[in-house]
Amino acid sequence: MAADPAAPSRDAAEPPRDCPLCPRLVAYRLENRAKEPAWHNAPVPSWGGRDARLLVLGLAPGVRGANRTGRPFTGDHAGKLLYATLLKFGLAEGEYREDPRDGMVLKGVRIVNGVRCVPPQNLPTPTEITTCNRFLKAELAALTRLRAVIALGLVAHNALLKAYGLPMSRLKFAHGAVHTLPDGRLLADSYHVSRYNTNTGRLTTEMFEAVTADVLARIA
């Protein structure tokens, strides 16, 4: 039997740089590489230690954010609230300067996206979410000390349920809700830390900090 051309040789949780699984995302990746050859323009790897007790799960890289810098939520507006919160709660050390060379380090938390490649219009298709879900499943299996996941938005919430083989109707998304997964881990829901949500007031700093504080108290 021929080997899967997309199967990572060393880490099943990380897709290869030229992952061929999603044709639309491959085409967009090549388009961005031609326009901006100095950018990362590849699947964005997870960030943080594998001994993390908390996982922050996003949707997909932003074209001028993680797709450019190669680090989740780095270089676009969404990272401002996320990393300020992690720093405030002792889940990161250093200073966030929207640059992967800023020297900031994560402590007890890992960050990953449900879809690893940047999608056009910042929105992956259901097929792309399903295809990339194999990497999220492998990620969850590798995090042996994981106690909780903060899902940023409905799509991330549903991607996590898919990784667990649960129907979307089993656990309903609601900002501030905390669910117990079959293995005992917790799933905490938050609106996404996007520019739209923060600018419109749908998600405030206080709201996101409350979700983070609640999760940390539950896994203390």
pLDDT tens per residue, range 19-69: 999 999 999 999 999 999 999 999 999 999 999 999 999 999 999 999 999
User: CA angle, corner 209, sides to 208 and 212, nearest 5?
Assistant: 90
Q: Quick one: DSSP state of residue 178? A: E
Q: Write the CA distances from 135 to 21, 82, 163, integer angstroms.
A: 12, 22, 9
Q: What are phi and psi of 50, to 5 degrees?
A: -75, -5
d(CA 114, CA 132): 7
β-pairing verdict for 109-113 and 178-180: unpaired
Question: Does the pLDDT value for residue 200 go beyond 60?
Answer: yes
Burial class (CB in 10 A: 0-12, 13-18, 19+), 87: middle
107-123: pLDDT as tens digits: 999 999 999 999 999 89
Its pTM stands at: 0.93
Average confidence score pLDDT of the chain:
94
